[in-house]
Amino acid sequence: MEKTLILIKPDAVQRELVGTVISRFERKGFTIAGLKMIHMDGNLAKEHYSHLVEKSFYPGLEEFMTHQPIVAMVIEGKDAVEVVRKMVGKTNAREADPGTIRGDYSLSVSKNTIHASDSKETAEKEVKRFFKPEEIFSYKKSSYYYSEDEL
C-alpha cells in the first residue's frame, strides 16, 4: 500500500496540535506505519528543502524547522500521497480551504503546521530520508477500510 511522509512542524508542536494532526489521519482511515520525534539539523533541512535553498526565505525556513523538535510520521493507505495532500491544503494557509489541516489550524505561509510529500517519487525518497527500514511497521487492521476490489 502507498506510503507518504508527514512532518508535524514546530508551530504545531508548540501549539499542542500534534495529537489533533495525527487524529485527522487516523480518523480518515490511514495506517500509521512509522512515528517519532526528531530534531532536524541544517544538513537534513538543506536536503529536504533542496528545491528551495536558493530562495530568499530559505534561511528563515531552516531556522524555523531546526529550532525545536518535530514529529515525523509515515502513513499508509490507498493513494496516500494524493489524498494526504488534499487533506493538508495549499502552502499558504490563508488560502487553504477550511476543512483542510492548514486551512483549519494556520494563518501562515511558513508556519503552516505540516509537511506532506508532493508526489509518489518524492514520497519514496522522503520516507527513506527520515526513517530506517526497521522503523517502518507493517500490520493488519480490520477490513472496514476498503472493499475487496480496492485492495
Task: Report the chain's C-alpha Rg in angstroms.
Answer: 15
Work out the angle at residue 48's Cα, subtended by the Cα atoms of residues 44 and 53, and round it to the nearest 5 degrees: 95
- Considering the complex, what minimum distance in angstroms separates the CB of residue 118 from Mg ion? 5
Binding mask 25-64 for ligand UDP (x = CB under 6 A): ---------------------------x----x---x---
CA distances from 52 to 56, 84, 101, 104 (A): 9, 22, 23, 25
What span, in angstroms and rounded, lies between the C-alpha atoms of 33 and 25? Answer: 12
Q: Which DSSP category does 98 fall into?
A: B
Q: How many residues bind Mg ion (CB under 5 A)?
A: 1
Piece in contact with ligand UDP (CB under 6 A), picked from 34-42, 72-80, 109-117, 120-128: 109-117
- Considering the complex, what minimum distance in angstroms separates the CB of residue 52 from ligand UDP? 6
Piece in contact with Mg ion (CB under 5 A), picked from 22-30, 77-85, 115-123, 143-151: 115-123
Largest CA distance in the chain: 49
Which positions touch ligand UDP (CB under 6 A)?
A: 52, 57, 61, 91, 109-110, 112, 115, 118
